[in-house]
Amino acid sequence: MTSMHDGHDGHNTFPVSSKVSEFEILELAVRELAIEKGIFSAEDHRRFAEWADGVGPHGGSKLVAKAWSDPAFKEKLLTKGTEACKEVGIDWLQPTGTGTPSDYTFFYVLENTPKVHNVIVCTLCSCYPRPVLGMSPDWYRTPAYRRRMVNRPREVLAEFGLHLPDDVEVRVHDSNQKSRFMVMPMRPDGTEGWSEQELAEIVTRDTMIGVALPDPKVRVPVPAGEVHQ
Amino acid sequence: MQYATLMERVRHLAPEERNVLDSPYQIPNELYAALRSVLHDVGGQPDAPTPYLEKGEEDWEMNTYLTCECLGWRGAWNSEMRRRAENDLGATMYFGLPYYARWITVAAKTLVDKGLITTDELGQKIDEIRARLEARD
């Protein structure tokens, strides 16, 4: 492909021989024909791109940090997911007014407890709560993750470095077109007195998928203020 | 005479028995259960651990997502139609293509199937864009 911005070692990727990507050509052809025929406009594409650029795991991080700090908000988040999202600036009806064609749906937040650990997958395709977590990681979409998470969850979690005690029940939630899930991890010890902003920084993407637990020593910057969408 | 010669040749070419998956007369119920699962319904199938790569979207991949969503926004299709069309690519293409290549392939097919664009228009546009991109690189 012509424009790899894969900053990692690149192993396990297919060797690339030709200069110009056929997929890039096909995408441009479909887009330009659709715009010429008036199916959608260049402005539609630009608006959608702007929305996609604004979403990311920082949305979910803010939701979890707020829920950890505010029991009333936590209750709302667990019972009325899309409504609660508005309080941190996430509107599931964006960017079209009726949501994204792929995501507008029911949103459920799954609370981890000392006895229950939740993890999400989409066995049928790659359904993912984009408005709160952004684009799904590549591995989430692979057939291997989809195949194995449902019947060997502890093995898969161990491969991510997450070893759960036997007395913790693992619940795997299979997302679909109409139901999207996000995990609310437990607030770790050692975070007493932290601000919402500080808490948000330890709620990483993987902790909301359920393949990791928040670690007070592992912090990812989260932009302050409401989520821009 | 010609007919007899022809049949002789055919007998040499034809296998003695059918291949196992060439429309057998009978199959076990277990195989029937396995075969009738829908292509994309992979949950629980056996597989080996693979590295979990962190790979961001390339430009064409992000643009594919956006183009497919805009087609949905403006009513050319919906995401169920996209998923169905991906399954209809068949196993070789479904598992053989990169994730977003499946999306853009079925976007093009769906627009043609619905009569919103023609194969001639698509072919001409592809030639035009290839020439443009090759000049760029």
Residue given tokens 């069309």 in the structure block: B85
Average pLDDT over residues B31-39: 85
Superfamily for domain range B59-136: Nitrile hydratase, beta subunit (1.10.472.20)
How far apart are alpha carbons B137 and B126 in whole angstroms?
A: 16
Average pLDDT over residues A144-161: 96
Average pLDDT over residues A176-194: 94
Q: What letter does residue A139 receive in the DSSP assignment?
A: G
Average pLDDT over residues A50-62: 96
The answer to whether A125 is a known catalytic residue is yes
Share of chain A above pLDDT 90, in %: 82
Average pLDDT over residues B35-50: 89
**pLDDT-based confidence at residue B31 (cuts at 50, 70, 90):** confident
pLDDT at B20: 65
Q: Does the beta-carbon distance from A34 to B67 stay under 8 Å?
A: yes
* pLDDT tens digits for range A120-129: 999 999 999 9
Q: Which residue has the higher pLDDT, A185 or B27?
A: A185
- Contact status, residue A26 vs residue B61, Cβ threshold 8 Å: no
**pLDDT-based confidence at residue A4 (cuts at 50, 70, 90):** very low
Interface of A with B in 61-90 (CB under 8 A): none
* pLDDT tens digits for range B101-125: 999 999 999 999 999 999 999 999 9
Beta-sheet pairing, A116-121 with A169-174 = parallel
pLDDT at B77: 96
pLDDT at A15: 56
Residue given tokens 């049949």 in the structure block: B7
Query: Which residue among A5, A45, A145 places its CB closest to the CB of B58?
Result: A5
pLDDT at A221: 87
pTM to 2 decimals? 0.87
pLDDT at A13: 56
How far apart are alpha carbons A53 and A68 in whole angstroms?
A: 27
pLDDT at B37 over 80: yes
pLDDT at A17: 55
Which one from A127, A175, A179, A195 is the annotated catalytic residue? A127
Instruction: Indicate the helix (H) or strand (E) that contains A172.
Output: strand A169-174
pLDDT at A43 over 70: yes
- Contact status, residue A191 vs residue A64, Cβ threshold 8 Å: no
**pLDDT-based confidence at residue A10 (cuts at 50, 70, 90):** very low
Name the phi and psi angles at A108, rounded to 5: -120, 130
How far apart are alpha carbons A85 and A63 in whole angstroms?
A: 7
pLDDT at A129: 96
Angle at A173 between CA A179 and CA B52, to 5 degrees: 110
A8 touches B at CB < 8 Å = yes
* pLDDT tens digits for range B53-81: 899 999 999 999 999 999 999 999 999 99
User: In chain A, what are the domains?
Assistant: 22-54 (no CATH), 57-209 (3.90.330.10)
Q: Specify the domain boundaries for CATH 1.10.472.20 within chain B.
A: 59-136
- Coil, helix or strand at residue B50: coil
Q: Does the beta-carbon distance from B59 to A96 stay under 8 Å?
A: no
Stated length of chain B: 137
Interface of B with A in 53-92 (CB under 8 A): 53-67, 69-74, 76, 78-80, 83, 86
Average pLDDT over residues A91-111: 92
Q: Does the beta-carbon distance from A31 to B49 stay under 8 Å?
A: no
pLDDT at B15: 64
A110: β partners: A183
Alpha carbon B63 to its chain's center = 20
Average pLDDT over residues A79-101: 95
